[in-house]
Amino acid sequence: MDKVLSLYESYIRGELGLSEATLSTYLYQVRKFLVFLSGRNTSYTDFSVDDFEAFLAYTVDELRQKENTTVISINALRSFMKFLRVEGIRKDNPLENVSTPKLGQRIPKVVSHQEVMKMLHALSEDSLDALRDKCLLLFIYGSGLRSSEVMNLSYDMINFESQFLKIRGKGSKERQVPVSDEQIRVLNLYTAKMKELMSEGKIPEYKGALIFVNPKTGKVFTRQYLFLHIKSLIKKVGIVRNVSAHTLRHAFATELLDNGADLKSIQELLGHSSMTTTEIYTHVAKSRMHKIYEKTHPRS
């Protein structure tokens, strides 16, 4: 860690022309991010946008980081990502579609159940695209899957009889996740629609096992496509906030906690290697509880 931070410091001194105060802040934010990544059994060489969003949630919800500090943190990590690419350490850029929030706007912590229902109800069950999108939302929000997990979801991972998913998550760790009747129902409709259109010659024949593919090319969704697609869906239903696959996964966990699930069960369902990561959701729940209390109790 110290070696890459030393190289990064040399880079920003030479390229960005920052003041000593800003330079120190950037180094502090990047170091904090690297420590967070180590707790998730990953590093700067392979972290994903999910890890980045989890870090932001952690700093805002648990560390009570202020909005202006969050903006600085995002800018620091963007410059760190640019450094990694310049040095040839990474070729991809998981922060490519991350926008910097304007000051005065809170970073959304969780999307509500009502907002998810609004998104689902806006999708008809007549077209292949709408069925696919409904399926995507149901598997992320209904089973708490990571974006990488939903993109690699295949039919052989689902036990339709017991209604469980077998997911291979980070570090190739397997976990069992239940699926609902509604998820199975919409998946069956989506699969039937695909077969119907293939038999009519309207889309190319697809014989692969992956569930979520581009019907015109048969290629799996990219993380960038999924990010932009969810962003497009929420815009259509008038939700003026950033909602990502990670936000929906976050909502899955928060709903479980609000309805009485214990942290150990939530940890297992999410596939967290550390309970510390799961404990973030207790802070979200407490924060919401305080807001409800302050809004509704006459003595608050």
Residue 68: which of 30, 16, 104, 22 has the closest Cα?
A: 104
Least confident of 39-43, 103-107, 118-122, 137-141: 103-107
- For the chain, give every domain's residue range: 2-86, 113-295
Is 170 catalytic? The answer is: yes
What's the first-to-final CA gap in the chain, in angstroms?
46
The mean pLDDT of 207-236, rounded to a whole number, is 77
Integer Rg of the chain from CA: 21
CATH class given for the domain over 113-295: mainly alpha
Q: What residue has token string 């150990």? A: 264
**pLDDT range class, residue 294, cuts 50, 70, 90:** low
From 109, 132, 223, 272, the catalytic residue: 272
Q: What is the total residue count of the chain?
A: 300
∠65-71-72 over CA atoms, to 5°? Answer: 90
From 40, 132, 223, 246, the catalytic residue: 246
**How much is the pLDDT for 57?**
78
The mean pLDDT of 161-184, rounded to a whole number, is 85
From 146, 193, 223, 250, the catalytic residue: 146
From 26, 44, 190, 281, the catalytic residue: 281
pLDDT tens-digit readout, 29-39? 999 999 989 88
The mean pLDDT of 239-263, rounded to a whole number, is 78
Is 246 catalytic? The answer is: yes
Is 223 catalytic? The answer is: no
Tell me if residue 200 falls in helix, strand or coil: coil
Is 146 catalytic? The answer is: yes
Write down the pTM of the prediction. Answer: 0.60
- Calpha distance 223→245 (Å, rounded): 10
From 32, 40, 193, 249, the catalytic residue: 249
Which of the 8 DSSP states describes residue 100? Answer: P
**2-86: which CATH topology?**
DNA polymerase; domain 1 (1.10.150)
**pLDDT range class, residue 138, cuts 50, 70, 90:** very high
**How much is the pLDDT for 213?**
83
From 109, 170, 193, 223, the catalytic residue: 170
Is 272 catalytic? The answer is: yes
Q: Is residue 106 pLDDT above 60, yes or no? A: no
The mean pLDDT of 89-94, rounded to a whole number, is 89
pLDDT tens-digit readout, 41-64? 888 998 888 888 888 877 876 677
Calculate the average pLDDT of the chain: 80
| One-letter amino acid for residue 140 of the chain | I
- Residue 73 CB neighbours (<10 A): 23
**How much is the pLDDT for 61?**
63
